[in-house]
Amino acid sequence: MTDVLIIIAAVVAIFFILKIAFKILKTALLLGVAALVVYYLFEYGFLKGLL
Q: Where are the beta strands (DSSP E) in the chain?
A: none
pTM (global) more than 0.85: no
- Between CA 21 and CA 24 the distance in angstroms is 5
In sequence order, the 6+-apart residues with CB closer than 8 A to the CB of 41 are 47
Average pLDDT over residues 26-47: 89
pLDDT of residue 43: 81
- Between CA 27 and CA 36 the distance in angstroms is 14
Least confident of 9-13, 23-27, 35-39, 47-51: 47-51
pLDDT of residue 22: 96
DSSP result, 8-24: HHHHHHHHHHHHHHHHH
The tens digit of pLDDT for each residue in 4-32 reads 999 999 999 999 999 999 999 999 999 99
